[in-house]
Structure 1
Amino acid sequence: MTFKQITGKLHLWLGLCSGLVVLILGITGCLYAFIEELKPAVYHDRMYVTVPPDAVRLSLATLQANAQKAIGADKPLQVAEVPTAPDRTVYFRAVKVNEEKTFYNSYLTYYYKVYMNPYTGAVVKVENTKYEFFNIVLNLHINLLMGPVVGNKIVNWCVVIFVVMLISGLILWWPKNKSAMKQRVWFKWKKDTKWKRKNYDLHNIAGFYAMFILLVISLTGLVWSFEWFNKAVQWTANGGKSAPELPALTSDTLDLRPFSMDKILHNALQQDPTATTLFVSIPKNNKAAVSVYARNARRPYFTSTTTFYDQHSGQQLRRSTFSTRNNGEKVLSFNYDLHVGSILGLPGKMLAFFASLIAASLPVTGVYIWWGRKNKKTTKNKKQVLRKPVVSVPV
């Protein structure tokens, strides 16, 4: 067998093994690509409120107490999401995951999001996020709704296989001469072009143009999938040096003042006045530091900042911005934006969307090519048997 024939066999069998997972990842990637644009339209009633005249926002502590009462004390709130726009609701999250369980109903014990009116303190919506559409899509994308132990491993290794398939696909696509190149880079369809040929071109030509984007999406996915890959990326970016581990932050336990979320929020808004949303962690004990993740939705994620505060005094303990990170951390800051295409804004998201759509189509068109060739060989063998000459025996 030639090298190209071996590559073809490898491409075929790896595709048959991982095709269903690639199909699911492609479709869910498409659905999740424009989540930031879709959610405000789909969930407008729970995400927006009418701003009353001479409105005064209630304290975040008051909103937290009302939200906690709405879902019960047995489900402690962990994060407050505070949009800075005056007509947006403030929402609190409570989630519990059991990583030892396998299926979705079991490993995600509960996940609630409580939307609050920041002016009246009323509960706008208690969302059972466990069964919310976009959250199911996300979990399907990450672990096939089969949990971190089983599902994550299947997805992670199927992404590795997909990277190998993209490279082997390029080898198979590469034409022998310049004249064959024209058929490989554009659709030369006529009125009498058969569906088999169209399917073959859809697999090869569309796959070729999406390959480079899909490689970026796949490799950035592997950064989250494997710790060794994550460390290798940082090690390379840092010039062959491992990134120093920063000490864990804790609040001063001798300070007996109660947790002041509003003081911390005020400080965070002064630090990041252009932020559109602040994600404030709610400490689970009197030792934990409070983190505030500040993001501007009109900018890529790598521009976001994270600031840590003492929960009692509100004193700033550490601040992380893009400029203060080492090279390895800077590369990782780009990871999400590269994965979803937001590093190029809306055009980048559109590229990621269409690339994911093509990725979902590749297993379908690939199986059709394989099935067609298999049936062609079977039909050819049958015809050869039927045409076998009859040998006459002399009497």
Structure 2
Amino acid sequence: MKKYGLRELINDIHLWLGLASGIILFLVCLSGTLLVFEHEIKDLFKEDFTVAVSTADKMSVETLAEKLKGEGQINGITIPAEADAPYLFSIKTDPKQRRGSTFFVDPYTGRFQKELKSSLDGFFMAMFRLHRWLLLDMEVGRPIVGIATLIFLVLSISGLVLWFPKKLRWKHIKTGFKIKFSANWKRVNHDLHNTLGFYACIFLVVMSLTGLCWSFQWYRDAGSAVLGAKIFGNRGGGPKMESGLEEGAKVLSVAEILGVVNKELPYTGAISLSLPKTKKGVYTVSKNDASGFSPVITDKLVLDQDGTVLKKEIFSEKPLNVRIAALIKPLHMGDIYGTFSKILYFLACLIATSLPITGTLIWWNKLQKKRKRNKGKAPRLERA
């Protein structure tokens, strides 16, 4: 009788958990694959807003704001690093709006256009709901996806263990790095599952570990405790600070505020500026270094209306645990290194989508082989 050891136990755990969660994991991974390039795909179906670059100076933010005055309350402005890119104004066109609408503005001419909805908005919203809640009610779908993600984490780790052969010799290990396309389809299917799963494993583990932060409060609290930093700690909209200026004190123009920003953060990059909404309001600013390694990492400032720096946060100067906690979302979505990491995540998600299919086929082929073997055995004769 064949000995049942630790490897056989891991194999059975991998098999039955995979079969039990296969359909859910397929749907979650498929929707995740499509969401990686959501913005890029949607932009293909939108009308381009071109900027008429000229030798003339750009208009001041105040002048541009005056042109947009009739559209509603301006909440914030994003000023890109590129000379040929439009300014983005966030405008609350309706008091009931939560975040406001985005307006593209040509800083040279003042021409503006409200961001048009993409024909794919509905499709990607459905993919988002499928990815997060399986299109179910949030309270029902979120824990189901969370449990499936936990299973996926176990599958990724157990799959990596099973990838290593029983005999750890190079001639056996190297076969796991390639797919033998010249073999029959069953062998090719096995290699697709085994080899591609190995290459995608590290990305799948990162996606699983970070994805659980959205599914379970206990996991998020535990992660915050382990890191020693609050995960999703800045969801409240940033620091709640008020202006300390006295009545009648001199306030700076937006252009002068931007001058302070560039002095405090002396590098080229996109600037997002949240405007004061009341007399006691302050400017909150984030700026990304265009020459930096990540397009999602920003330094932050809080400025009083006279340009006094009330708070300054340089990302690279924060403790490592705080930086990791702040990068949970881009680590999960794949945009931490821009297009390069998005391509890697897209391929990893595509592989993850295929794993339930190839894994089920491996199980089915083994089941059929076992049935044929049992069928071919001669029946045992009973003694009279």
Range of TM-score over shorter length:
0.7 to 0.9
Letter of the aligned partner of 2:318 in structure 1? R
Question: In 2, are the aligned partners of 1:95 and 1:112 still within 8 Å (CA)?
Answer: yes
Q: d(CA) in 1 for partners of 2:131 and 2:100?
A: 18
Provide the residue aligned with 1:100 in structure 2: none
Q: Which letter does structure 2 place at the counterpart of 1:187?
A: I
Report the 3-state secondary structure (helix = DSSP H, G, I; strand = E; otherwise coil) of the residue aligned with 1:114. Answer: strand
Pairing partner for 1:10 from 10, 13, 24:
13
From 101, 108, 114, the counterpart of 1:119: 108
Q: Provide Cα deviations, 1:297-319, integer angstroms capped at 9, x if missing partner.
A: 44214752011123x43432111
Rounded to whole Å, the distance in 2 between the matches of 1:215 and 1:88 is 37
Q: Deviation string for 1:121-174 (max 9, x for gaps)?
A: 332243237953896466654555667655544444432221111112123333
1:153-211 deviations in whole A, cap 9, x for unaligned? 44444322211111121233332224653443332343xx2212211110011101221
Q: Are residues 297 and 161 of structure 1, via their aligned partners in 2, closer, same or farther at CA, if it must alter by over 3 Å? A: farther
Q: Which amino acid aligns with 2:286?
A: Y
Structure 1 residues 268 and 167, CA gap change in structure 2 (3 angstroms): same
Retained in 2: the 8 A contact 1:249–1:317? no
**Aligned residues of 1:11 and 1:169 also touching (Cα < 8 A):** yes
Aligned to 2:204: 214
Matched with 1:87 is 84
Distance in 2 of aligned mates of 1:231 and 1:84: 37
Task: State yes or no: 1:351 paired with 2:335.
Answer: no
Show CA shifts across 1:268-297 (max 9, x none). Answer: 233334343112224555555432111134
Structure 2 counterpart of 1:181, from 173, 188, 198? 173
Q: Residue in 2 aligned with 1:51?
A: 53
Q: Structure 1 residues 163 and 57, CA, compared in 2 at 3 Å: closer, same or farther?
A: same
Q: List per-residue Cα deviations over 1:356-385 (Å, max 9, x = no partner).
A: 22112112212222333445556666x469
The residue number in structure 1 matching 2:300 is 306
The question of whether the paired residues in 2 share the 8 Å contact of 1:301 and 1:334 is answered with no
- Does the C-alpha gap of structure 1 residues 157 and 278 become closer, same or farther in structure 2, counting only changes over 3 Å? farther
CA deviation vs aligned residue, 1:63-106 (integer Å, no higher than 9, x gap): 44655744xx5xx654422213222111234699xxxxxxxxxx
Task: Give the root-mean-square deviation of aligned CA atoms.
Answer: 4.3
**Residue-by-residue CA offset, 1:233-276 (whole Å, 9 max, x unaligned):** 555455xx999x99943213775678964443332233334343
- Give the aligned length: 367
> 8 Å contact 1:90–1:115 — kept in the other structure?
yes
Cα 1:334–1:131 change in 2 (3 A) is same
Cα distance change on mapping 1:110 and 1:296 into 2, 3 Å? closer
| Alignment partners' CA distance in 1, 2:263 and 2:123 | 32
What SS does the aligned partner of 1:45 have?
Answer: coil
Q: 1:321 to 1:50 in 2, by over 3 A?
A: same
Give 2:117's aligned residue. 128
C-alpha distance in 1, partners of 2:253/2:134?
A: 40
Residue 276 of structure 1 aligns to a residue in which SS?
Answer: coil
Aligned match of 1:196: 186
Task: Determine the structure 1 residue equivalent to 2:22.
Answer: 19
Where in structure 2 are the equivalents of 1:1-395 lying within 5 Å? Answer: 2-33=5-36, 45-46=48-49, 48-59=50-61, 61-64=62-65, 66-67=67-68, 69-70=70-71, 73=72, 78-93=75-90, 112-128=101-117, 132=121, 136=125, 141-143=131-133, 149-177=139-167, 178=169, 180-190=172-182, 193-223=183-213, 226=216, 229=219, 232-233=222-223, 235-236=225-226, 248-252=239-243, 255=246, 261-299=254-292, 300-301=294-295, 303-310=297-304, 312-335=305-328, 338-339=331-332, 347-376=340-369, 383=375
Given that 1:32 and 1:134 are in contact with CA atoms closer than 8 Å, whether structure 2 keeps it comes out as no
TM-score normalised by L of structure 2: 0.74
Q: Deviations over 1:310-337 (max 9, x none)?
A: 3x43432111112432332123345455
Give the fraction of aligned pairs with identical amino acids, expressed as a percent: 31
Unpaired segments ≥5 residues, structure 1: 97-107
- Which residue identity is paired with 2:14? H
Residues 83/154 of structure 1: CA separation in 2 closer, same or farther (3 Å cut): farther
Quick check: 1:82–1:90 contact (8 Å CA) kept in 2?
yes
SS in 2 for 1:119: coil
Matched residue type, 1:159: T
Distance 1:16 1:242 in 2: 35
Cα 1:170–1:110 change in 2 (3 A) is: same
8 Å CA contact 2:52, 2:109 repeated in 1: no
Q: Which amino acid aligns with 1:165?
A: L
Q: Residues 49 and 248 of structure 1: is their aligned pair in 2 closer, same or farther, counting only changes over 3 Å?
A: closer
Closer/same/farther in 2, CA of residues 360 and 184 from structure 1, 3 Å limit: same
Contact 2:52–2:106 (Cα < 8 Å) also in 1: no
Aligned-partner SS, 1:307:
strand
- Of the structure 1 ranges 32-41 and 4-13, higher mean CA displacement relative to structure 2 is found in 32-41
